[in-house]
Amino acid sequence: MTKHKLWRFLFYFLITAAAIVFLIPVYLVLITSLKDPGAINLNSTWQLPKVWYWQSFAEAWDLLAPKFVNSLILTVSATLLSAFFGSMNGYILSKWRFPGANIIFPLMLFGMFIPYQSILIPLFKFLRDTGLYGGLPGLILVHVVYGLPITTLIFRNFYAEIPDDMLEAAKVDGASFFGIYSKIIFPLSISGFVVVIIWQFTQVWNEFLFAVVLTKNNSQPITVALAQLAGGEAVKWNLPMAGAILTALPTLLVYIVLGRYFIRGLLAGSIKG
Amino acid sequence: MKTFRVVILAAVLGLLALASAQSQLEIFSWWAGDEGPALQALLDRYNELHPDVNVINATVTGGSGVNARAVLKTRMLGGDPPDSFQVHAGQELIGTWVVADRMENLEDLYKEQGWLEKYPAGLLKLLSNDDGIWSVPVNIHRSNVMWYKPAKIEELGVVVPNSWDEFLAICPDLKAAGVTPLVVGENWTQQHLWESVALGVLGADDWANLWNGSLAFNSDKAQNVWDVFGQVMACTNDDASGLSWQQATDRVISGEAAFNIMGDWAAGYMTTTLELEPGSGFAWAASPGTDGIFLMLSDSFGLPKGVANREAAIDWLKLLGSAEGQDIFNPLKGSIAPHLDSDLSKYNAYLQSAAADWNSNVVAGSLIHGAAAKEAFQSQFGTILEIYLSSGSAQAAANAANAIAQQVGLGQ
Amino acid sequence: MIKKDRLTAILMLMPSVILLAIFVYGFIGQTVYTSLTNWGMDPSQALAINPKIKFVGFAMYKELFTGFIDIRFRQDLVNTFFFTIFFIAGCLVLGLGLAFLLDQNLKAEGLYRTIFLLPMSLSFIVTGTIWRWLLQPKGGINMLPSLIGLEPMQSRWLTTREQIWQFNWQDIPQFTGWLIVLVLLWISFSAFRNKNKSRALVAFISLLAIAAWSAFIAPKILILPYPETHGFNIAFVGIIMAAIWQMSGYTMALYLAGLRGIPQALREAASVDGANEWQIYRHVVLPLLKPISLSAMIILGHISLKIFDLIFAMTGADNSTTDVPALLMYLTTFRANQFSKGAAIAVILLIMVAFVIIPYLWTSLRSEVER
């Protein structure tokens, strides 16, 4: 038994050490963002600020607020649209089997793995020719389309667990395609929607490549603004750190409040879920 | 069917974001941070003159426009040009945008405003090709300036070098004294150093010959530049790529480094942001071997074809091309005004000396800042530098430069 | 009635299918086409509204792999290679370790899990910004030893130009040859063990042939006219650290799900057979986690091939010692205006990702059908 206790102690020690290492960057970001820029220097890097300096957050917020709103519009629209279409597709692919579905599905899935550089130039031309370049609607469209594979996948796996008998019974009662969806499938898929929405929300909010290439100044999402803030010149680190916290806040909140669903989305991304 | 309602709401929100365009003026530049106030002062003046126009200051950070040029390209290609954008006068504009037929000819504007007599002929030549004049210059900067702190140089007991040989001779002593002989920053500042080295080694004539194609990059003369550059780089700091140019300047002021070669926007940074007195807080000399040569660059603004607010953009060009506009902008930016009616009494000691040099020196065009070579060459110069830094072979670098020069048709 | 519904189903699926057909396959086709032209190589045509472009075949690809001035692309491939290996290895080891610890019925397990997964919810841009600061020459990590009274570290992290494990690009044909020899050796050996003598023999003969080719002919193939060294850039260490910090929680979650999925009965049976705790892990649990490791390797592998934003935020796009093809594509296309070359880089990137992903999609969907 003492040996067992020794092991337990070792486990606790290791995991606590790991947790501390993981939290070190978080700690540094927090204290740096709360320091007077004049007080950020070598010898006190690790110390708590002597005076709590909230000014950086106000400044960062002034700079980032319009982009924060852009990101919010973009993320909410793209998430809801791709969740809706994903659920439709998942419903069709799992419950209305038709010839060729087994070919179409993997072809759709491949879309979530491609490096987006490989479609960037034509995508850019397409948006230009359709007049969607530079604004949020174009970016929303892009995120919806490239979000379809993963949302379809998650919903398809989710609906595979709803027994076909339920649907057959409804069909016998005369329910139509949409009837079945709105009376059976949709009510049963609330937690599926939560998983998908959280997943898409994090993905779209955090995305950078499309954001930097396809938007102009006043429709930039927040990630582009943060990269600019931090990549600028003569960096005083309090401001980028405050900006990083503001940028991270929405996804962080979602993660902390709904972590269980977040992990499910994470696992679903590896196909078999 | 709640989802449907939410979806529609989201779509409406998205459309709303699109529908906000009336009388406005979007100015695209890379003047952020310390360089921001000068632009802001000019924009404020614009707003006084045209209070009904909503001015959008679209800046993309990154020294010498490294990031801005990529963003600008997506904007222009996307058929959404900003109303007016900052561009280095010379080949960066002509070799990239004018040849692609994306700019409006400003010759009529120049005639209407009487600018043809109000700008130095050499500068006008840089802004023009056979078909017209393509942008309005707002300032003149000098690239080949070496900065130091007089007190530190005195303490070290060295003389400010007049040639690269002299510099290389004092380099070991400076190292022994525990200071970085020459501080450089991220990639483009190393390219910036290269052009001062090349100008010092080649002289003004051969420098010009490189760009008109009569001196080959793989000639012995041109290859020698890389050898000297390598020796100079051996006297620099080893954490260069992490430093912005301001942070490199800071090292000179703090005494960690003896010298720094940077364009004279550094004077603006030191006087305005660091609040130092020109001459005592910091001092300058032409970079080694380039005394009497003014390696110039000029920021200018052009008018893209098909902009949304053409009238407002032309008003903007009129303001920044006028002596009044330039005397608002330049003292803050730390540059001199190209306009011949500029009032020198508004400028500080450094700028007055630069203006005197501008009038008396031989003028050469900067490579890195867009005056000398097409952007297609300029944007690949970083690759050449990288080949040199990773291989350490002057020959490899010279060959690469020659290959790129031929590929882009340099000097044609 | 049902027939009509089936039609509705197909109609409802169509928008997604058509959109993906255009946005994925149509656009990939266009990119491939662009990569076979010279769009952007002539500066006067690069940015014209209606550029004149010419079909040039595989010229761009040839330049990238053997061209004099595209040395940066080749180093980028090497960078990606090393980055991928260390990133995957780091995430797997750390993820498995953490999952193992969390599997020990510790108190506050949920709290620990939340901490380890926290970075996963962040944008690579946020992570990059944070680590850029941590790894400054005078930043957080270098000052860490001063907490316990030691001298601060002087490491250059992201700005060092140091390179180790250097090799000559001209040796690539030989390396490839010897790699194939190793694979054939393994095939031949396992065929021999399975008593499949003819297969073993065929594999062995081809092995000899390729070995002879690698030893005698390959060194004479000059893919470059001059030697060109590449190697592992030390500056990547910092980037690998940041990437592992962000993604190891993900492998932990995968492994943890795998561990929880192993029936308790299986472990108990082993323990009844006299296996101790360690042996159970070694012989029962680990083999069952193999498919998870494979999934994780593939997901992480395709992320690491595509990595762009993290490096953009950590060192900027210009720091060539920490460059990768995904970044170079952006610079080549949108800064140097060389659209065709940018497209060629993108296609090469796509091929690398497809190499990893297609077999994976194939096997996992096939096994699903069998199930």
SS3 of residue B85 by DSSP: strand
- Residues C292-330: tens digit of each pLDDT: 888 888 889 989 998 999 999 888 777 778 899 999 999
The subunits that touch chain B, with at least 3 C-beta pairs less than 8 Å apart, are A, C
| Number of structural domains in chain C | 2
| Number of structural domains in chain B | 2
Judge whether A26 is closer than 8 Å to chain C, CB to CB: yes
pLDDT of residue A43: 66
- On whether both B55 and B79 belong to a single domain, the answer is yes
Contacts of A237 in chain C (CB under 8 A): 133
For residues B368 and B64, is the Cβ–Cβ distance under 8 A? yes
Closest to A29 in 3D by CA, of C132, B68, B307:
C132
Give the residue carrying structure tokens 């000052």. C143
Q: What is the C-alpha separation between A121 and C82, in angstroms, rounded?
A: 28
C334 and B70: CB-CB below 8 Å? yes
Instruction: Report the gap between the CA of B408 and the closest CA in chain C (Å).
Output: 7
Instruction: Report the gap between the CA of B194 and the closest CA in chain C (Å).
Output: 17
- On whether both B314 and B274 belong to a single domain, the answer is no
Strands B84-88 and B299-302: antiparallel
Closest to B193 in 3D by CA, of B202, B182, B204:
B182
C317 and B238: CB-CB below 8 Å? no
Is C198 a member of any domain? yes
Is C46 a member of any domain? yes
B73 and C75: CB-CB below 8 Å? no
Q: Give the helix ranges, DSSP H, for chain C.
A: 2-20, 27-35, 43-46, 59-66, 71-102, 109-117, 124-134, 140-143, 172-193, 197-212, 236-261, 264-272, 277-280, 286-306, 309-315, 325-334, 339-370
- On whether both B196 and B59 belong to a single domain, the answer is no
> What is chain C's alpha carbon radius of gyration, rounded to the nearest angstrom?
25
Is B38 a member of any domain? yes
Closest to B296 in 3D by CA, of B164, B125, B168:
B125
Which chain B residue has its CA at the smallest distance from A211's CA?
A: B71
**Residue A270 pLDDT grade (very low, low, confident, very high; cuts 50, 70, 90):** low
Which chain A residue has its CA at the smallest distance from C145's CA?
A: A46
Out of B101, B379, B403, whose CB is closest to C336?
B379
A15 and C106: CB-CB below 8 Å? yes
Per-residue pLDDT tens digits of chain B, which is 412 residues long: 444 444 444 544 444 444 444 578 888 888 877 778 889 999 999 999 998 888 888 887 665 566 777 788 888 877 778 899 998 888 888 888 888 888 999 999 999 999 999 998 888 988 898 899 999 999 999 999 999 999 999 999 999 999 999 999 999 999 999 999 999 988 889 999 999 999 999 999 999 999 988 999 999 999 999 999 999 999 999 888 778 888 899 999 999 999 999 998 898 888 888 889 988 999 999 999 999 999 999 999 999 998 888 999 999 999 999 999 999 999 888 899 999 999 999 998 889 999 999 988 988 999 988 888 887 888 888 888 988 888 888 988 998 899 888 888 887 6
**C68, C79, C328, C330, best to mutate vs chain B, most B CBs in 10 Å:** C68
Is B79 a member of any domain? yes
C-facing residues of A in 208-247 (CB < 8 A) are 208-209, 213, 223, 226-227, 230-231, 237, 240-241, 243-244, 247
pLDDT of residue B181: 95
Contacts of B17 in chain A (CB under 8 A): 70, 73, 135-137, 219
Strands B299-302 and B293-297: unpaired
- On whether both B291 and B306 belong to a single domain, the answer is no
Out of C253, C329, C362, whose CB is closest to A263?
C253
Examine the fold and report which residue of C233, C256, C286 is the final residue of a domain before the chain moves on.
C233
Contacts of C156 in chain B (CB under 8 A): 238-239, 242
Dihedral Cα B212, B214, B217, B222, nearest 10 deg:
-110
- Backbone torsions φ then ψ of A134, nearest 5 degrees: 95, -20
Judge whether B195 is closer than 8 Å to chain A, CB to CB: no
pLDDT of residue C257: 87
Instruction: Report the gap between the CA of B328 and the closest CA in chain C (Å).
Output: 32
- On whether both B148 and B284 belong to a single domain, the answer is yes
Other CB atoms within a 10 A radius of the CB of residue C288 amount to 14
The subunits that touch chain A, with at least 3 C-beta pairs less than 8 Å apart, are B, C
Contacts of B26 in chain A (CB under 8 A): 217
Contacts of A152 in chain C (CB under 8 A): 16
pLDDT of residue C278: 79
Is C48 a member of any domain? yes
SS3 of residue B58 by DSSP: strand
Q: What is the C-alpha separation between C249 and A22, in angstroms, rounded?
A: 10
Instruction: Report the gap between the CA of A181 and the closest CA in chain B (Å).
Output: 10
Closest to C88 in 3D by CA, of C368, C332, C295:
C295
Q: What is the C-alpha separation between C177 and C131, in angstroms, rounded?
A: 40
Judge whether A117 is closer than 8 Å to chain B, CB to CB: no
C43 and B77: CB-CB below 8 Å? no
- On whether both B76 and B203 belong to a single domain, the answer is no
Q: Tokens at residue B373, please?
A: 């070579």
Judge whether B274 is closer than 8 Å to chain A, CB to CB: no
Examine the fold and report which residue of C233, C251, C274 is the final residue of a domain before the chain moves on.
C233
Q: Which range among A69-83, A153-167, A224-238, C302-316 shows the weakest confidence by mean pLDDT?
A: A224-238
Instruction: Report the gap between the CA of A1 and the closest CA in chain B (Å).
Output: 54
- On whether both B245 and B329 belong to a single domain, the answer is no
Q: What is the C-alpha separation between A50 and A43, in angstroms, rounded?
A: 13
- On whether both B284 and B305 belong to a single domain, the answer is no
For B153-261, strand residue ranges (E) read 180-183, 257-261
Is C39 a member of any domain? yes
**C3, C5, C12, C16, best to mutate vs chain A, most A CBs in 10 Å:** C16
B386 and C41: CB-CB below 8 Å? no
Contacts of C69 in chain B (CB under 8 A): 380, 383-384, 387, 400, 403-404, 407
Domain that includes residue B37, residue range: 21-141+298-359
Query: How many C-alpha atoms does C296 have within 13 Å on its Cβ side?
Result: 28
Domains and CATH numbers, chain A: 1-53 (no CATH), 58-268 (1.10.3720.10)
Instruction: Report the gap between the CA of C254 and the closest CA in chain B (Å).
Output: 31
ipTM above 0.90, yes or no: no
pLDDT of residue B251: 92
Beta bridge mates, B277: none
Sequence-ordered list of residues with C-beta below 8 angstroms from that of C283, at least 6 positions apart, any chain: C270, C275
Judge whether C169 is closer than 8 Å to chain A, CB to CB: no
- On whether both B130 and B227 belong to a single domain, the answer is no
For residues C81 and C233, is the Cβ–Cβ distance under 8 A? no
Is B2 a member of any domain? no
Exposed (0-12), middle (13-18) or buried (19+): which is C57, by Cβ within 10 Å? exposed
- Asked whether residue A169 carries a pLDDT value surpassing 70, the answer given is yes
Is B196 a member of any domain? yes
C333 and A121: CB-CB below 8 Å? yes
Examine the fold and report which residue of C233, C265, C291 is the final residue of a domain before the chain moves on.
C233
- On whether both B191 and B226 belong to a single domain, the answer is yes
SS3 of residue C164 by DSSP: strand
Q: Residue B277 belongs to a domain with what CATH number?
A: 3.40.190.10
Region at A271 (left for phi over 0; alpha for psi -120 to 50; beta for the rest): left
- On whether both B165 and B217 belong to a single domain, the answer is yes
Region at C108 (left for phi over 0; alpha for psi -120 to 50; beta for the rest): left
- On whether both B136 and B73 belong to a single domain, the answer is yes
For residues A53 and A70, is the Cβ–Cβ distance under 8 A? no
Domain that includes residue C197, residue range: 167-233
Region at A176 (left for phi over 0; alpha for psi -120 to 50; beta for the rest): beta
- Residues A95-147: tens digit of each pLDDT: 887 778 888 888 898 998 899 999 999 998 898 888 888 889 999 999 999 99
Residue type, C203: A
Q: What is the C-alpha separation between A260 and A272, in angstroms, rounded?
A: 18
Q: What is the C-alpha separation between B79 and B52, in angstroms, rounded?
A: 26
DSSP letter for B284, please: E
Per-residue pLDDT tens digits of chain C, which is 371 residues long: 567 888 888 888 899 999 999 999 999 999 999 999 988 887 777 777 777 888 888 989 998 988 877 888 999 999 999 999 999 999 999 999 999 898 888 888 888 988 998 998 899 999 998 898 888 877 778 777 777 777 777 777 887 778 888 888 888 888 888 888 898 888 888 888 888 888 888 888 888 888 888 888 888 877 777 778 888 988 899 999 999 999 999 899 889 888 888 888 887 888 787 777 778 888 888 888 888 888 888 889 989 998 999 999 888 777 778 899 999 999 888 888 889 999 999 999 999 999 888 888 887 777 665 54
Instruction: Report the gap between the CA of C161 and the closest CA in chain B (Å).
Output: 8
Examine the fold and report which residue of B359, B380, B396 is the final residue of a domain before the chain moves on.
B359
Q: What is the C-alpha separation between A2 and A155, in angstroms, rounded?
A: 49
Strands B54-59 and B24-29: parallel
